[in-house]
Amino acid sequence: MPSSSTPETRKSGKLLKYLVGFVVLLGIIYTGGWFYLANQLESRVATNLAAFKQKGIDATCENAGASGYPIRLGLDCTKVGWVDQAKNLSVTAGSFNAAAQVYDPMQIVSRIEGPAAVDAPGMIPLDITWKNLGSSVRLDKPLPKQLAVQGNDIVVNQRGAAAGTAPIAVMQDGKLSFSTAEPKMNISWSFEKLKIADNIVYKHPLPELTGAADIELENGFALLGKPERDASILRGQSGQLNNVDLGFTDGSGIAISGPFSVDDEGRISGDFNVTMRNPEGVAQAMREILPDEESTISSVLQAMAFVPKDASGAPTLPITVKNGKMSVGFIRIGRLPSL
């Protein structure tokens, strides 16, 4: 007697064949789509580089090619560069890779290899090396929603310096990030074990530094359209110093927080709390940086003994700034320069 399962078996076999055929068809369509987008990416890069050249900017992405199949779409370059002869600005570096996952195309992660050669007006030629340097950006319209750059073991040297010359600066880790929620912008950065060569700043040795900052600008979007490239770009801005911290190797340091505003003349106003961790350690570090200010540093150290303490026991001094004029209570203590 024939088995009753034979028709079902044949039906299941046909369904399996159809399923396999459908998967293969999807794979062919997906592969074709991926290579179409890869070709579009390579064409767009070539078009953009040509457009920069017409503007007098030599932007390079040598041996540009798409990569990442099947789950990513990325761009690889064996060498990158940016040369703006009109501004005497030149930056060249090693290989570059940027990619986005096909299921999250708005998040782009990139990595660049050193060394980098930097030439800019008013600066000595620099060679910069690092162990890792990468970025992550969350695209949005009209501008990216998030951007972060992070690197470690960064070394800055003067190009052509004699063998054995100390680097201009060495930093173990550094990170800079922006996030936006129009019209606000949040800016944060941090660095660990930054050592700047002696006699570069203040013509005195500087201690190793660690720092962090978290700053919120109420109308940070407006900065993106301004032509200024110095501190004057902050005129008309207001915001909050959530925390700005500078620390030394012994754990001492200074932290500042509070709301602020900058008027159209660049004058700063705000109400700040200045906290000093281990005042004796801060004073010793400042003596090394500013040996000619021993009297002022000693006076400030003595005054900190009478300042209210925070929960951790660190003296915290409230400072009011109005149009650049600083005061503690009714006592005027100085003036901030205009931005």
297: which 2 tokens? 């540093």
Residues of 178-216 as b/e, b for ≥16 C-beta within 10 angstroms? Answer: bbbeeeebbbbbbbbebbbbeeeeeeeebbbbbbbbbbb
**Residues 70, 29: Cα–Cα separation, whole Å:** 12
Q: CA-to-CA distance for 198 and 203, rounded, in angstroms?
A: 7
Domain range list for the chain: 1-123, 131-153+161-339
What amino acid is encoded at 230 in this protein? Answer: D
Q: Write down the residue that tokens 């789950």 correspond to.
A: 71
User: How much is the mean pLDDT over the chain?
Assistant: 87
With a cut of 70, say whether residue 225 has pLDDT above it. Answer: no
Report helix, strand or coil for 220: helix
pLDDT at 151: 96
272 with 258: CB under 8 angstroms? yes
Residue 249 has pLDDT above 80, yes or no: yes
258 dihedral zone (left: phi>0; alpha: psi -120 to 50; beta): left
Indicate the pLDDT class of residue 305, thresholds 50, 70 and 90: confident
Residues 104-120, mean pLDDT to the nearest whole number: 94
* Residues 226-241: b if buried by 16+ CB within 10 A, e if exposed: eeeeeeebbbebbbbb
Cα dihedral sign, 199-203-205-211: negative
